Amino acid sequence: MSEPILEIRHLSKSFGNNEVLKDIDFTVSKGDVTSIIGASGSGKSTLLRCINLLETATSGEILYHGENVLRGGFNQSAYRAKVGMVFQSFNLFNNMTVLKNCMAGQQIVEKVPKEEAKQRALYYLDKVGMTPYLNARPHQISGGQKQRVAIARALAMEPEILLFDEPTSALDPEMVGEVLEVMKKLAEDGMTMLVVTHEMGFAKDVSNRVVYMAGGIIEEEGPSAEVMSNPKSQKMREFLERFLQ
Amino acid sequence: MGNLFTDIGKVLEKYGLTYLDGMKNTLILAVVATLIGCVIGFFCGILQTIPYGPKDHFLKRFFLKLLRVIIRAYVEVFRGTPMILQAVFIFYGLPYVTGIAFQDIWTVSIVVVSINTGAYMTESVRGGILSVDAGQTEGAKALGMNHFQTMLHVILPQTLRNIMPQIGNNYIINVKDTSVMFIIGFMEFFSVHKIVAGATFKYFPSAVLEMGGYLLMTLAASVLLRWIEKKLAGRQSYELVNLDQLATTAGTYNYPGKGSPFDERSREFGGEKR
Ligand SMILES: Nc1ncnc2c1ncn2[C@@H]1O[C@H](COP(=O)(O)OP(=O)(O)O)[C@@H](O)[C@H]1O
Ligand SMILES: [Mg+2]
């Protein structure tokens, strides 16, 4: 087994009295493509947001290369820069062009010189096939194109792991394919990815691990081929059946 | 009617330069105070929206809460009292209480109008910041930007664009309302009217000149602000970029405009292209 990048240990999160995550425990190793599946409200987004520190976990640990990111004094900005996030609603900066979107993080957070940031942005925009739209603003391109730019923006930080929160759920059906295609290519290139998705095809064929969540706990977890075709838990079997209909 | 024009001519002949001087003073005061007011507004608006949570240090929470209370009080006091009284308070009250007086009438006037404008702008900026989609902040945070960087590079540029109409409003209000500064002896545009009317008894011809002068100052600003708003909005169309020199070049691509139908620049409104 290769080196673990993220280790989630006994992670819990409550909103008021509502315990949304209960004692979550799992590990992401280098090169892993992990799909997190589960019904709406099962806590998938909250888990990703806790990992990215957009939410503060109530208890537990998140170890990044063995170091607990939740302890006081940890450099959160540097950590976030290395743990990329792609959102369901894209969240591209509306006041910047496509190119500037991909340069901003590098220049502002990592102080990369302008020309180098531009070259890096161009490299990753090419990877997602968005080079022609460099000068467009987010409101001028389609949903699928926005999501591809958002992926390029995250990649331009050269992160160690990319988190995706339902990257295709806000897209028109005809645009889902282009985004999944880009994600598949990334997986083949060896990118470490943690993907919350409702695309069972992606979970089964592209990812190598699957985590099934229900009611704030990890109900089942394992190699995708195994878990997706032969789930042990009754709940997961029912969940998958609903998708196959 | 003929009479009116002759009278205006007479007034202008003798007091034309005085009118111009008054206009110049009003204009400088309104522009400078609006700009300083915006800076105050942005400053307070930003301080007021620094987030804090239950996990933050006690002192940090206490300090931020106190800051919000102070800003709130400032806004309520200066928005809720007439500027003419504020001028009196600062001009006469300050030396009365502290023994320190402003030497220069310009300084006092700019301070009073700026602080007043700042109170309104603080509210506008706060609203402008809150109206920017929370996803923009999350996108920035996810890249590792801190609060200050997020504000400076992502939120405030969008806020500025959103509140341009309010900045314009404040400027226009300032052009007109600085007329109350006569109370501390500031020679603005309207005080010229009082001098001229007092000396010549030509109340109406002078009022016509005043009306024209004020309209000129506010209309010019409206035009300028529209232009800035357009600039801030960016271009509506963009060139497709082709880095592959052998491929055929693509033309200008225009994704269907998605402006609000109430925005006069949107297509549905039949407005002009940006
Ligand atoms: N900011 C919040 N405040 C209160 N409750 C929240 C918040 N975010 C999520 N929740 C609750 O947490 C539960 C899990 O939400 P979420 O993680 O978004 O689920 P999923 O992504 O699996 O659909 C839901 O019941 C939701 O209502
Ligand atoms: Mg979700």
| Residue-wise pLDDT tens digits, B109-119 | 999 999 999 99
Q: B241, A135: Cβ pair inside 8 Å?
A: yes
> Is any ligand 1 atom within 6 A of the Cβ of residue A169?
no
Between CA A146 and CA A139 the distance in angstroms is 9
ipTM, two decimals, is 0.92
Q: Do B144 and A105 touch (CB under 8 A)?
A: yes
Mean pLDDT of B35-55: 89
B273 contacts in A (CB within 8 Å)?
Answer: none
pLDDT the model gives residue A244: 73
Measured in degrees and rounded to the nearest 5, phi and psi for residue B88 equal -65, -45
What are A10-45's pLDDT values in tens digits? Answer: 999 999 999 999 999 999 999 999 999 999 999 999
Strands A161-165, A67-68: pairing is unpaired
pLDDT score at B264: 46
Handedness of CA B141, B143, B148, B154 (dihedral sign): negative
With 80 as the cut, is the pLDDT of residue A3 above it?
A: yes
Q: How far is B14 from chain A (nearest CA, A)?
A: 52
Q: Do A87 and B153 touch (CB under 8 A)?
A: no
Q: Which of A85, A91, A132 sits opposite B241 (nearest CB)?
A: A132
Ion ligand 2 neighbours, Cβ < 5 Å: A 45
pLDDT in the model for residue A245: 67
| Residue A134 forms contact with B (CB below 8 Å) | yes
Determine the residue of chain A that is closest to B137 in CA distance: A91
The confidence band for A119, taking pLDDT boundaries of 50, 70 and 90, is: very high
Identify the bridge partners of residue A68 per DSSP, sorted by sequence position: A63
pLDDT for the residue B273:
39
Dist. CA B145–CA A164, nearest whole Å: 19
In order of A104, A139, A164, the CA distances from A92 in angstroms are 11, 9, 14
Tell whether B175 lies on the interface with A, counting CB pairs under 8 A.
no
Ligand 2 centroid from CA A43, angstroms:
7
| pLDDT tens, position by position, B69-103 | 999 999 999 999 999 999 999 888 888 888 887 77
Ligand 1 closest atom vs CA A46: 17
CA distance A2 to chain B (A): 26
Q: How far does the CA of residue B133 sit from the closest CA of chain A (Å)?
A: 9
Per the CB < 8 Å rule, is A140 touching B240?
A: no
Q: Residue B203: which of B211, B176, B21 has the closest Cα?
A: B211
Asked whether the predicted pLDDT for residue B254 surpasses 50, the reply is: no
Tell whether ligand 1 has an atom less than 6 A from the beta carbon of residue A209.
no
Tell me, using a 6 A CB cutoff, whether residue A42 lines ligand 1.
yes
What does pLDDT average to over chain B?
Answer: 84
Ligand 1 atom with the shortest distance to the CA of A44: 22
Q: Which residue of B has its CA nearest to A93?
A: B136
Between positions 52 and 71 of B, the ones with CB within 8 A of A are: 53, 55
pLDDT tops 60 at residue B214: yes
Structure tokens, A110? 């990592």
User: What residues in B contact A136, CB-CB < 8 Å?
Assistant: 238, 253, 255
Partners of A211 in beta bridges: A36, A221
Q: In this structure, which residue's CA is closest to atom 8 in ligand 1?
A: A46
Contacts of residue B17, Cβ cutoff 8 Å, sequence gap at least 6: none
CA-to-CA distance for B155 and B157, rounded, in angstroms? 6
Residue B2 has pLDDT above 80, yes or no: no
Question: Which of A93, A135, A154 is nearest residue B154 as measured by Cβ atoms?
Answer: A93
End-to-end CA distance of chain A: 36
- Say yes or no to pLDDT of A127 above 70: yes
| Cβ–Cβ gap B144/A136 under 8 Å | no
Residue B151 is which amino acid? M
Partners of A132 on chain B (C-beta within 8 Å) are 240-242, 250
Which of these, A28, A50, A35, A48, lies nearest to A192 by C-alpha position?
A28
Query: What would the mean pLDDT of B189-197 be, rounded to a whole number?
Result: 90
Q: pLDDT category, B265, cuts 50, 70, 90?
A: very low
Q: Burial of B38 by CB count in 10 Å (0-12 exposed, 13-18 middle, 19+ buried)?
A: buried
Give the least confident one: A68-77, A145-154, A220-229, B109-118: A68-77
**Cβ–Cβ under 8 Å, residues B174 and B34:** yes
Q: How do strand A18-29 and strand A209-214 relate by DSSP bridges? A: unpaired
pLDDT per residue over A137-185, tens digit each?
999 999 999 999 999 999 999 999 999 999 999 999 999 999 999 999 9
pLDDT exceeds 80 at position B197:
yes
User: To the nearest whole percent, how much of chain B has pLDDT over 90?
Assistant: 47
Looking at ligand 1, which atom is closest to the CA of residue A196?
Answer: 21
Does B211 have pLDDT greater than 80?
yes
User: Is A121 touching B (CB cutoff 8 A)?
Assistant: no
Ligand 1 centre to CA of A49 (Å) is 10
